[in-house]
Amino acid sequence: MKLDARMTMFMTLVATFMVCLVVGDLIGGKLVSFEIFGWKGLISAGQIAFPVTFILTDILNEFYGKRVVRRITVLAFFMVGLTLCIIKLADLLPIWEGTTASDWKGFNQESWHRVFTQAMQIQIASMFAFITSNFVDISAFFIIKKLTGNRFLWLRSTGSTAISQIIDTLVINAILWVWNANFTISQYISICISSYGIKLVAAVAITPLLYALHALIEKRFGIAPAEGEAEE
């Protein structure tokens, strides 16, 4: 089967989206602290990868339509779930006895468990936060697009992200707060504020990249936006 430019680009965008989502969940267990003007914030290392998923959601919305993006969102949800199931099965396998030797420099059972399964609750929380917020993002994107008469790509992109990420931030951290007895109210508020702030800044910062990628796909590869959803 010969792939045309539209299908090749679609496969590339979806593959990149899936990788960033899965990797973002896997590294999300690392919490990173920072300080700005005396204010201390706390974010997940997953914020390295997630801004890429924002821009790809918007690009897929533009060129392939909301029905396609909704299917991608559901597929991505199950791919993250499949990843976690594989990790759990690998964790249950008996580890080679040689890893208990004092001179063994690779993973032992404790380090494997700590690296790959310690953040399982964060990853599960992220799954449900993602599917909820992404459906909101898709709907908000097209509501804004309808109101603005198919203009202002930056507005529907940043606006939909700003709306959806409120839900994403509150949901994932609420689940973590319920699961983790040591997660205090003040820590919940702090990580919500800092995480949402980072997401909002990232959404604005990647706007030039959004336009560049939009122009590249439309002009360089000759792929037109989805019929009835084109930007004026």
Predicted TM-score of the model (pTM): 0.82
Q: Flag whether 29 is in a domain.
A: yes
Kindly provide the b/e burial profile for residues 142-153, where b requires at least 16 CB atoms within 10 angstroms of the residue's own CB: bebbeeeeeebb
Between 72-76, 105-109, 148-152, 214-218, the lowest mean confidence (pLDDT) is in 148-152
Q: List, as own/partner pairs, every contact residues 222-228 make where C-beta atoms lie below 8 angstroms and the sequence separation is at least 24, other chains included.
A: 222/5, 223/5, 223/6, 223/9, 223/63, 224/63, 225/62, 225/63, 226/62, 226/63, 226/64, 226/65, 226/68
pLDDT attached to residue 144: 87
Q: In this model, does residue 3 exceed pLDDT 80?
A: no
Q: Flag whether 59 is in a domain.
A: yes
Residue 230's pLDDT band (cuts 50, 70, 90): very low
Domain region containing 53: 5-93+110-220
pLDDT attached to residue 174: 81
Q: How many domains does the chain have?
A: 1
Overall average pLDDT of the 173-177 stretch: 74
Q: Flag whether 70 is in a domain.
A: yes
Q: Flag whether 28 is in a domain.
A: yes
| Domain harbouring 146, CATH code | 1.10.1760
Q: Flag whether 98 is in a domain.
A: no
Q: Flag whether 105 is in a domain.
A: no
Residues 61 and 137: beta-carbon distance below 8 Å: no
Residues 116 and 29: beta-carbon distance below 8 Å: no
Q: Flag whether 227 is in a domain.
A: no
Q: Flag whether 230 is in a domain.
A: no
